Structure 1
């Protein structure tokens, strides 16, 4: 799994950034955002939001990992997504792994059906963006057998990857298991055996952000209440991950039983369907509202055309010190099926707005 990721040193940030913008599947941004639009007062498009089945395991606390130990763990079954985002905050070389522990008396078949990995790198925005691009572009299915009373690595290459001080690793893994397994994210010495290390490893205290836990509803469906009419409605927006119009998911930190909130909805996959009026061509943009942002979107158009688009596509990130930046996702014919897959990228700032506008003539 992920042979390209096999490396023993920190990736050079410039190299990561170049690989992102040179990917042939990523459409380049182009101008056309309606002139004279007041970015501060765009009308909100009424939508219905529905949380869908599945669990989200979030492991992002402590984000800056100060010592060897377990960052997060929980025993789960069914459809699961793991989002982990950790920095080696020690002065030594380390490795960060995800171990599957089967404490039952029957073998567990874990089917990994989508995944993306970014890093290790000192460029945190590049890591978060690359993890999303790899996740959205990945189509392989992997089977991991975890023996009864035994363990297996969710991503074996991480056990061979050295994480330098201050380097970040970000992973997004979707999997299914009928047999309950304990999912453990942990940092440990480079030469340590994860299966042995976990037996004595302590759970590290959460940091002040407390971004870890198990959350219901790993996917969120967003559907406007009525079809968008570009001629009549002009420029409108759908706000995501602001905790006002779009609330954060709440869950439980399984390490201590406390309630927790996923500030930013990291790891939640949004499926956004955009019904539109016929004979009205329109444009779609992504607008970061919280600061520096580097991510990706998957677009499915007319039920078959799928494209992964960097947000932004022509550079690593945007949104620094301004809320006026927009990334052009594309122009589309009205009345045709259009789906967007969006998720808050690691290391980026939220919220964002998906903006619909009449297409430039």
Structure 2
């Protein structure tokens, strides 16, 4: 169970949460959940989990940033995801930016294939949910040119956004670079030049959670070992991000060379394939198991991208009851292709279960 420090209050975040329901089976009303279902003893559906993709840069420590400085930095090339999640814990307005430094003698284009940004805001669950929903829905490719021997901002808008005391900023960026670039996540005075500040800034110490580092395998493919049959199997679950059935990814803190563990697998994107028996209609639910949770889920059904769903749909967060809270992710026909895209949202608690159950019969 992970329950990070947070300050929750009404706040305005940088962008709005918008859900999509393109397929009638995805209506996020509250369908009848199996009345006799025992959520304390859910049979686990065996799965194979395979690490895929490039590296993940995680910058979440110190989460509560106490002073100006560098929260995380590393030099990377190739396929990379950056997940940063920081609160201005000073008493002064600040800005939180990501600087790219190219030390080579040739300019390079950073290709940003997907991103989501949330905040700044005081409602940390809302900021995390906005960042994830924006990330899941983003489809446009963007370029950032980093000159030879120069710098550029991964997200220029952050240089113009003031982060007030106690406000959180959460970003998720997928990008590629052909040559090595240094990625620096830092907090600095509002009027400071990022490049000049980075040249003199010190790396801040981690907090007790030590949630920062460079990790291999930014994506995970999850495939059940057997076909799900609703009439025979009843209620089953797939547990994610619990460090038992689904291990946390291990990496290296590039600022000091120490080993580190991504508690909660924040920034890891899961692709789940659900093989099912024909002629057996079934329902899919998300069940938080660690506490308060607010995020999103992409659904691809019959080889068509259908929706980005709020989890939960009817309120900002759920999971206060932990084991018994569920949100509906749709009813589906057996034997059809179904893919779910999931990632642990910033400020939310893990683990979670994906639940499969017989669909409720129409009354």
Q: Indicate the TM-score class for this superposition, using the shorter chain for normalisation.
A: over 0.9
| Distance (whole Å) between structure 1 residues aligned to residue 102 and residue 289 of structure 2 | 42
1:44 is matched with: 44
User: Which sits farther off after the overlay, 198-207 or 304-313?
Assistant: 304-313
Q: Give the secondary structure class of the aligned counterpart of 1:39.
A: coil
1:143-189: CA deviation from partner (whole Å, max 9, x where unpaired): 11100100000000000000000000000000011110000000000
| Distance (whole Å) between structure 1 residues aligned to residue 313 and residue 287 of structure 2 | 13
Kindly state the Cα deviation for residue 29 of structure 1 after the two structures are TM-superposed: 3.4
1:239 is matched with: 239
Kindly state the Cα deviation for residue 227 of structure 1 after the two structures are TM-superposed: 1.0
Task: Tell me whether 1:13 sits opposite 2:2 in the alignment.
Answer: no
User: Do 2:96 and 2:158's aligned partners in 1 also have CA atoms closer than 8 Å?
Assistant: yes
2:123 is matched with: 123
Task: Tell me whether 1:104 sits opposite 2:101 in the alignment.
Answer: no
Q: What pairs with 1:287-306 in structure 2 (closer than 5 Å)?
A: 287-306=287-306
TM-score normalised by length of structure 2? 0.94
1:248-272: CA deviation from partner (whole Å, max 9, x where unpaired): 0000000000000000000000000
2:3 is matched with: none
Q: Which runs of 5+ in 1 are unaligned?
A: 1-11
1:318 is matched with: 318
| Distance (whole Å) between structure 1 residues aligned to residue 353 and residue 105 of structure 2 | 48
1:281-311: CA deviation from partner (whole Å, max 9, x where unpaired): 0000000000000000000010013200011
Q: How many residues are paired up?
A: 350
Kindly state the Cα deviation for residue 322 of structure 1 after the two structures are TM-superposed: 3.2
Q: Give the secondary structure class of the aligned counterpart of 1:306.
A: strand
Kindly state the Cα deviation for residue 28 of structure 1 after the two structures are TM-superposed: 2.6
1:7 is matched with: none
Q: Give the secondary structure class of the aligned counterpart of 2:336.
A: coil
| Distance (whole Å) between structure 2 residues aligned to residue 201 and residue 18 of structure 1 | 30
Kindly state the Cα deviation for residue 14 of structure 1 after the two structures are TM-superposed: 5.5
| Distance (whole Å) between structure 1 residues aligned to residue 266 and residue 345 of structure 2 | 7
User: Do 2:19 and 2:309's aligned partners in 1 also have CA atoms closer than 8 Å?
Assistant: no
Q: 1:18 to 1:325 in 2, by over 3 A?
A: farther
User: Do 1:13 and 1:126's aligned partners in 2 also have CA atoms closer than 8 Å?
Assistant: no
User: Which sits farther off after the overlay, 270-279 or 318-327?
Assistant: 318-327
Kindly state the Cα deviation for residue 23 of structure 1 after the two structures are TM-superposed: 3.7
User: Which sits farther off after the overlay, 316-325 or 287-296?
Assistant: 316-325
Kindly state the Cα deviation for residue 19 of structure 1 after the two structures are TM-superposed: 4.0
1:107-165: CA deviation from partner (whole Å, max 9, x where unpaired): 11100000000000000000000000000011111011100100000000000000000
1:198 is matched with: 198
User: Do 1:17 and 1:316's aligned partners in 2 also have CA atoms closer than 8 Å?
Assistant: no
Task: Tell me whether 1:90 sits opposite 2:90 in the alignment.
Answer: yes
